[in-house]
Structure 1
Amino acid sequence: MSLSEIDRLLLERCLAGAPRAWQDFVDRFLGLVVHVAKHTASSRNLSIDESTRDDLVAEVFLTLVANDYAVLRRFRRNSSLATYLTVISRRVIARRLTSSLNGSTQAIAQPAAMADHRGPVTRLENREEVQSLLTRLDPDEADVVRMYHLEGKSYHEISLAVGMTENSIGPLLSRARAKMRDGQV
């Protein structure tokens, strides 16, 4: 799908600093970014609360306005604006989730399996739990799980790194998750 006339005009208004342009932009795409935040966390088997989700969404919008809308200025206009924003949002959110699990920022998410009645679990405990589960997997499975869930790599990046086809990554992740969940490792 190509850039719609409505989105082209909205983008031009934002880049020109027109009155209310940014508010209109946020109103139009807020739902999309919220959805991407939920989906990105869920696809990494992470549980995020509403406050964390809002922080992730805010970080996406801050990224969009940084350096005089540099990210929006790089938009080549050969796809829909929603598609472009989905990719940007996913990258920003995945990077933030990955950095929180790797210990470089305050913990913002926890593995969904650990989001239970025990209350907040510290990042160190999460990381130790994940590392323990990974050591019980076959080394190839552990590498793929680590790259996807902890490093935020895409199926394509993982396939290049481990020499598997892209279509094999999803099923391997599903089997590894089932093994870790069911204690079959």
Structure 2
Amino acid sequence: MSLSDIDRILLQRCIDGAPRAWQDFVERFLGLVIHVANHTAESRGIALDESTRDDLVAEVFMVLLASDRGVLRRFRRDSSLATYLTVIARRVIARRLHRDGTRSRLSVTAAEPATHQTADRIENREEVERLMARLSPEESDIVRMYHLEGMSYQQISQAVGMAENSIGPLLSRARQKMREGA
């Protein structure tokens, strides 16, 4: 999906610092960022309280404003603005969750009966582990770092000692192996 005229105008107004542009931007994309925060945390087995979620959402918007709206200025306009913001928000939130260790993991205890969602999560985790078993240890580590821990190619490169431009192709091959095992 390409950039809509409405979003193109709103984006330009924000970059130009037009009156009320930022408020309009936040009103338009607040729900999206909240959804990304909830989904990113849930996919990592983290229960967010309202205060933590609000902090994560605020951090995403602060990143968008930082360096004279540098993230918005770097948007290439070859996709929808919502898609671009989803990627940015997911990365910011995943890094923050990883960095802060904000990990009140969802768990099943004897006092807490398993819910349908918890049972699905356990089944999904087992499926992911089964699929990742098809990968080499190096591939598995990189898939985990990128998809489950939200690390950037640069962070992964530093962690494993591999050239940054080799991370993407390795991830593509690993995903293909996982698809073939599904």
Same fold by TM-score greater than 0.5: yes
- TM-score (structure 2 length as normaliser): 0.66
Relative to structure 1, the CA distance from residue 18 to residue 167 in structure 2 (aligned partners, 3 Å threshold; closer, same or farther) is farther
Give the 4+ runs in structure 1 shifted more than 4 A. Answer: 142-146, 150-154
Relative to structure 1, the CA distance from residue 149 to residue 69 in structure 2 (aligned partners, 3 Å threshold; closer, same or farther) is same
- Cα shift at 1:164: 3.4
1:26-48 deviation digits (Å, cap 9, x = unpaired): 00000000000000011111111
- The SS at the match of 1:68 is helix
Q: How many residues are matched?
A: 148
1:60-100 deviation digits (Å, cap 9, x = unpaired): 00000000000000000011100000000001001111112
- Cα shift at 1:168: 1.8
Relative to structure 1, the CA distance from residue 29 to residue 167 in structure 2 (aligned partners, 3 Å threshold; closer, same or farther) is farther
- Cα shift at 1:149: 3.8
CA distance in 1, matches of 2:22, 2:89: 17
| Contact 1:144–1:158 (8 Å) recurs in 2 | no
Percentage of pairs with the same residue: 58
| Contact 2:47–2:103 (8 Å) recurs in 1 | yes
Match of 2:107 in 1: 113
1:8-65 deviation digits (Å, cap 9, x = unpaired): 1101111111110000000000000000000001111111111111000000000000
- Amino acid of the structure 2 residue aligned with 1:79: S
| Contact 1:159–1:166 (8 Å) recurs in 2 | no
1:165 maps onto 2:159 in alignment:
no
- Amino acid of the structure 1 residue aligned with 2:105: P
Match of 1:62 in 2: 62
Relative to structure 1, the CA distance from residue 12 to residue 93 in structure 2 (aligned partners, 3 Å threshold; closer, same or farther) is same
- TM-score (structure 1 length as normaliser): 0.65
Relative to structure 1, the CA distance from residue 159 to residue 69 in structure 2 (aligned partners, 3 Å threshold; closer, same or farther) is same
Pairs within 5 Å for 1:128-139: none
- Amino acid of the structure 1 residue aligned with 2:20: R
Relative to structure 1, the CA distance from residue 15 to residue 143 in structure 2 (aligned partners, 3 Å threshold; closer, same or farther) is closer
1:31 maps onto 2:35 in alignment:
no
Match of 1:72 in 2: 72
| Contact 2:91–2:150 (8 Å) recurs in 1 | no
Relative to structure 1, the CA distance from residue 145 to residue 87 in structure 2 (aligned partners, 3 Å threshold; closer, same or farther) is closer
Query: Greater relative contact order (Cα 8 A, min sep 6): structure 1 or 2?
Result: 2
CA distance in 2, matches of 1:16, 1:88: 21
Relative to structure 1, the CA distance from residue 151 to residue 36 in structure 2 (aligned partners, 3 Å threshold; closer, same or farther) is closer
CA distance in 2, matches of 1:45, 1:112: 5
Match of 1:13 in 2: 13
Gaps of 5+ in 1: 102-107, 118-137, 173-185
